[in-house]
Structures are given as C-alpha cells and as structure tokens.
Amino acid sequence: MLPTIRGRVAWVFQEPNFDIDLIVGVDHMKTQEIDILKSVCMTSYDARFPDEVQPGDVIVGGANFGYGHPHYPSCRALRALGVSAIIAESFSPGFYRGESSNGFPLIECPNVSTTVKRWQTVAFDWDNETLTIAETGEKLACQKVPQKSKDLILTDGIIGYLKQVRLSKQ
Amino acid sequence: MSQTIAEKIFSRIAGQKVSAGTERLFPPDLITAYDYPGYIDKYETQMADELGITKVNHPEKFILFIDHLYPAGNPKAQQIHEITRRFARNYGFKLYEGDGIGHQVISEKGHVHPGMFVTHFDGHISTIGALGAIGIGIRNSMIEAFATEEVSLVVPSSVRINLEGKLQRGVTARDVFHWIVRKIGPDGCRQAVIEYGGKGLGSLEMDERFTLCNLAMFLGGISAVMETDEKTHAYLRQTTGQEHPPMAPDPGARYEKEVTINLSEVEPVLVAPPSPANTIPISEALGVRIDSGYIGSCASGRIKDFEQAVEILEGRRVAEGFRLNAVPTTTAIQAQMSELGLTPKLIRSGAQVHVSTCDFCIGQMGALTEGERSVSTGTLNIPGRMGSNRAEIYTASPYTIAATAVHGKIVDPRTML
Ligand code: SF4
C-alpha cells in the first residue's frame, strides 16, 4: 500500500528554482554521517527545525523545486528527520528523477506554495490525487503521479523496484 | 498525428506511435557512464552483489568513460579508474580512457547517429542533441538501464526554440543560451525536450550547437535536440562514415510553447554566483576583480571556443597574477588546436594549456581558494564547484573570459575586438 501522507507542513518554500542543496548547506554536500546531516538540516531557515519537525511532516515547495545540480544529502536529512513527502508546485526533472528513485514521495500540486501555511496539516489522497488542508477543508488538485514513481515508493527505491517489479518478470 | 523530433525518436524505439505523456519502457540505443566515486563502483556492487547480474544481453550498447579524476592525482583516484576498467572488462563494455570528456568523445568516435536515444546518469549527455539524437540523464535510475537495458520514461513534451538571424561579433553560443534563460526563465523548458530549429540555427557551427544542447538542464529541460542540416550531415559523415536522412519535426507538431530568438539581438551575458539561474547582462558585472579563468568542460572547450579566446589574446598578455586555464574537451580537439596554431598562441599569451579532463570543472585541478573569484565556461557556478565554498564563480563566454584575463577584471570583450 502506498504510504499515508498526512502531516504538518514543516516549511513552505515559495521561491521558484529552489536549490535543494541549501537545506543542509553547501558545506555538507559530501557529508555522509546522518547525525550531522540531521543536526544541520534546515537550520539556516529555522535554527530549531531539527527539534520541531515530527515524523509524517511534509515540506512544501515552489515552482521548479530542486533546480541546479542537486545532491542527495539534503533529502537524506529530511527523510531521517521523518519528513514523509515534498509537495511542490513543480519539480526540476533531474531532482525528481533522482529522489523518486530513492522512493521518496514527490507530489506536484499547483498553487500549493501560496495556499498552505506553515504548521497547517495536509493530507494527500493517492486515489483522487488531491491535497486537502485539514484546517480549512480546501482541496487542491495535484498532477498525476506516474506509475513508476508509485512503484518506486512501494518498493522502497530503485533496487527494490528492480528486484520486485522488473527483474522478477524476466 | 504530427510529431516533434522527440516523439519521432521515442516512437521509433517503441515500434509504434507514441506521443508526449505516454509512460512506458524504452530500450536506449546506448547506455553510457563515467568514472566517479559513488557511481560506477556502486553500479558494480549493485549489479553483481545486490541484483546478481553478471552478464548483460547487449554489451555493445554500453560505453564507459574515464574522464574525471584524470590523470589520477592520487591512489584513490587510480583505484576508481581500476574499478571502471574492471567493470568494463567483466561485462564486455567499451571503455574510453584519456580521450577526453565522454559527452563529446561519444560523438567524435561515431557512436551517435540522428534519432538515437542515449542514457547516462549525467544530464549533460544532452550535448549529443546537436546531432539530432536525444541524450537523457537519468541519475540514480541508471542501474535500471544497466540491469534491464530498458528505462521507464514518460515521453517528454517539447518546447520549440526557433533561432533567427546571426550573432554579432563578440557574442557566442554561451551568451545565446543564457540569453534564453533570461528571456523565458530557468524553468522555461521544464520537463521538456528543447527542440532547436529555424534559419538561425544554420548560422551556428557544430561546436556552438553542442554548447547550446549541453546546457539544456539550466532551462529545466530534460534534454535538447536539433534539426539536422548540411553542417550536421557533414560532421556525421566524418564521424560515422554514413549518410543519414534529415531529422526534423512534422509540420504542425504540438509544442508546449514556441519561442523565437533573434540571434542578432543577443548580447554578452554572465551567470553570476551562486546559482545557474542568476543570469545578468555583462554591463552589471563590469570591473569585478577576477583571479582566474577556465575555458573548457563538456559545454565549451572546442575549437570555436579557443578561436574566440585567441581572437582576444593574440598580441596581448594575460594580466600579472591571473591564472588562465585552457582545457580542450577532447584529445582530438587538443591535436587540432595544435595543427591550427591555437595552442602556441594561447601559451604565448600566458595561458596554460592542459590535458583533456573534467577536473578543472570540478575543482580537482586549478582549484580556487577562499575569497577568490573565477570566470569559467564550466557548466556550473554553485559554491564549492571549483574549490572553496567561499570562492565565487561567474560563468561566461570564451571571449569574455579572455578579455577578463587580460585586465584581471570583467571587461566587455566587444571593446577589444
Ligand atoms: S566537464 Fe564538468 S559538467 Fe561536463 S562532464 Fe565533466 S565535470 Fe561534468
């Protein structure tokens, strides 16, 4: 079953073309230690972020989120802190491919960054591809999630996907 | 139904008409990768240990390159090269080592034909679009290509860029690309294939076309492809020894949007730190003090780029204390530079001419230290890309870099031509 995405909005990035590397900072592009990555995650936006974030929270992004030359540590840090999905106006293609291959739910939802507020609770409905804001009841239509992305989430990333979906058929 | 070039290519591979939005598996014509820690060494482990695959069905489809960390500066780099060689040997893959940067070597060596679909983990494989082929960087789903020889893709839509007119003196393909970024935004072609065509394309040399296609990702493009013309086919005759039918979209093909760029209006632009989205006209950066310059990379280290640099540098000297690194994209280009007399001219002006390698683009060589500033034809200007996180990188055209090298500060090259 696809994971339930229902959680607080831990941060809203409204800026377009957001460079994902800024989440842990360029000094940590090569950092592997997950505890360090967790401790610096988002701290240039909110110093208390690693303490405030809770499992199930989501990050909201603007248009072309992940633009540039995205590296993997930022999303590793977000996931390790329990962030369950990124919901953005749209994603940069390289970022989308890289992180969906890691089995990370990335949902494209036009208008999300100007509609939801930090700490509101949102829920994503996989069947109807809509995002509901719990506090207001407002529903936002999202883009269709490609089947491959769903398979990658279900199988926990590319290696699981290859084993369970692709190579098992051969 | 009328088709874009991308739809034609993916329809040919699918064996049936497919249009933008269709999600399915496509077997790439070529599967390519280069040596780098965390890539080929990881694929080797994933293939053999995690997936138990010791043999592929079509080894002839695979090409590996040793172009990073080259020549090896330490035993660790040599170890990565050795893993790359072993991986190629064990699976029967073609390997190019020391021929230069793979994104260009692949075309020079005649592997690319119009209509091909090529994958790599690195998006700059879009360079081959200049030959009417589509190269897509699929990042960590490369293991899917290695393990299954197929990749799942949603057939991309296309953005049509019509080029008109001719470039003014002192203006280059680099300027054209970043001019387009300024005009339609860094997400102006998001998730689409950029399809270049129009009369103005004919005025651009192959070297310039490779540059335009190489940078596709900074318009949000998934790749880029160009219509072919007599120049393309002359190049292909040399590299492949074959004739190919022309590659063009059908009249009436559907595009996400169409943009017209008049080349004669383009002026020199720079990409200012810290992001490739940050394009500014040169007038806003004039006089900025600069410590080093780099002409090279898979985007811009071809004959045309060095001819432009030499136009400025001939009879002049690089400023005292300024480091100018000239790095041919491939060894074939390096040889041609010598034959054309470009190498001695660069050297006499005070530039350093180096072996073909990626290493200047990633700060492995010619690195910057804290507080320094560089002008570069590398692909990226993010902090840390060429050394210290506290150094600044402006990307610019070879003309602008040469002019800047002479003065030690950013200068409009048109004033020196
Ligand atoms: S030249 Fe730079 S951008 Fe191109 S492949 Fe090498 S490192 Fe990457």
Give residue limits of the domains in chain A.
5-168
Atom of ligand 1 nearest to the CA of B214: 4
Q: How far apart are CA B37 and CA A59, in angstroms?
A: 30
pLDDT at residue B286, rounded to an integer: 98
> How many CB atoms are located within 10 Å of the residue A132 CB?
17
Contact B187 A16 (CB under 8 A): yes
What's the half-sphere exposure (Cβ side, CA atoms, 13 Å) at B271? 32
Q: Is residue B310 within 8 Å of residue B338, measured between CB atoms?
A: no
Q: What is the number of CB-based contacts under 8 A between chain A and chain B?
A: 94
Q: Does A67 touch chain B (CB under 8 A)?
A: yes
Q: What is the DSSP string of chain A?
A: -PPPEEEEEEEE--STT--GGGGT-GGGTT---HHHHHHHTTTTT-TTHHHH--TT-EEEE-TTBT-SS--SHHHHHHHHTT--EEEES-B-HHHHHHHHHTT--EEE-TTHHHH--TT-EEEEETTTTEEEETTT--EEE-PPPPHHHHHHHHTTSHHHHIIIIIGGG-
Q: How far apart are CA B373 and CA B381, in angstroms?
A: 11
Q: How far apart are CA B191 and CA A63, in angstroms?
A: 12
Burial B15-54 (b: 16+ CB within 10 A, else e): eeebbbeeebebbbbbbbbbbbeebbbbbbebbeeebebe
Nearest residue by C-alpha to atom 1 in ligand 1: B297
Atom of ligand 1 nearest to the CA of B34: 5
Dihedral of the alpha carbons of B70, B330, B241, B133, in degrees to the nearest 10: 90
> Angle formed by the axes of helices B206-214 and B230-240, to 10°?
90
pLDDT at residue B205, rounded to an integer: 98
Contact B139 A163 (CB under 8 A): no
Cα B206 to averaged position of ligand 1 atoms, centre (Å): 19
Q: Is residue B172 within 8 Å of residue B397, measured between CB atoms?
A: yes
Q: How far apart are CA B357 and CA B106, in angstroms?
A: 15
Q: How far apart are CA B236 and CA A107, in angstroms?
A: 42
pLDDT at residue B180, rounded to an integer: 98
Could you please state the CATH topology (level 3) that the domain comprising A5-168 is classified under.
Aconitase; domain 4 (3.20.19)
Q: In chain B, what residues touch A158 (CB-CB under 8 Å)?
A: 140-141, 143-144
Residues 6+ apart with CB under 8 A from A170: B148
Substitution target in A18, A67, A165 with the highest count of B β-carbons within 10 Å is A67
**Domains defined along chain B, listed by start:** 1-267 (3.30.499.10), 271-416 (3.30.499.10)
pTM: 0.95
Q: How far apart are CA B203 and CA B85, in angstroms?
A: 41
pLDDT at residue A69, rounded to an integer: 81
Nearest residue to B8 via CA among B118, B114, B152 = B114
Q: How far apart are CA B197 and CA B273, in angstroms?
A: 31
pLDDT at residue A3, rounded to an integer: 96
Nearest residue to B305 via CA among B162, B207, B206, B217 = B207
Is 70 exceeded by the pLDDT of residue A139? yes
Q: Does B364 touch chain A (CB under 8 A)?
A: no
What's the half-sphere exposure (Cβ side, CA atoms, 13 Å) at B183? 17
pLDDT at residue A169, rounded to an integer: 67
> Out of B148, B220, B221, whose CB is closest to A166?
B148
The residue whose CB lies within 8 Å of the most ligand 1 atoms, and thus the one to mutate among B69, B139, B379, is: B379
Copy the structure tokens of residue B404: 């800047």
Residues with CB under 6 A from ligand 1: B 101, 103, 122, 124, 297-298, 358, 361-362, 378-379
Nearest residue to B161 via CA among B103, B247, B205, B221 = B221
Is 60 exceeded by the pLDDT of residue A83? yes
pLDDT in tens, chain B (417 residues): 899 999 999 999 999 999 999 999 999 999 999 999 989 999 999 999 999 999 999 999 999 999 999 999 999 999 999 999 999 999 999 999 999 999 999 999 999 999 999 999 999 999 999 999 999 999 988 999 999 999 999 999 999 999 999 999 999 999 999 999 999 999 999 999 999 999 999 999 999 999 999 999 999 999 999 999 999 999 999 999 999 999 999 999 999 999 999 999 999 999 999 988 899 999 999 999 999 999 999 999 999 999 999 999 999 999 999 999 999 999 999 999 999 999 999 999 999 999 999 999 999 999 999 999 999 999 999 988 999 999 999 999 999 999 999 999 999 999 999
Q: What is the pLDDT of residues A51-78, one digit of tens each?
A: 999 999 999 999 999 988 888 999 999 9
Looking at residues A21-30, what average pLDDT do you find?
89
Q: Is residue A5 within 8 Å of residue A109, measured between CB atoms?
A: no
- DSSP letter at B353 equals E
pLDDT at residue B1, rounded to an integer: 87
Is 90 exceeded by the pLDDT of residue A82? yes
Q: What H or E segment, with its residue span, contains residue B258?
A: strand B257-262
- DSSP letter at B53 equals -
Contact B275 A68 (CB under 8 A): yes
Nearest residue by C-alpha to atom 3 in ligand 1: B379
ipTM over 0.85: yes
Cα B359 to averaged position of ligand 1 atoms, centre (Å): 8
User: CA of A98, closest CA in chain B: separation in Å?
Assistant: 6
Q: What H or E segment, with its residue span, contains residue B184?
A: helix B173-184
| Dihedral class, residue B296 (left if φ above 0, else alpha if ψ from -120 to 50, else beta) | left
Contact A101 B191 (CB under 8 A): no
A170 pLDDT band, cuts 50/70/90, is low
Copy the structure tokens of residue B271: 């990409």
A29 pLDDT band, cuts 50/70/90, is confident
Contact A159 B187 (CB under 8 A): no
Average pLDDT in chain A: 95
Q: Is residue A86 within 8 Å of residue A58, measured between CB atoms?
A: yes
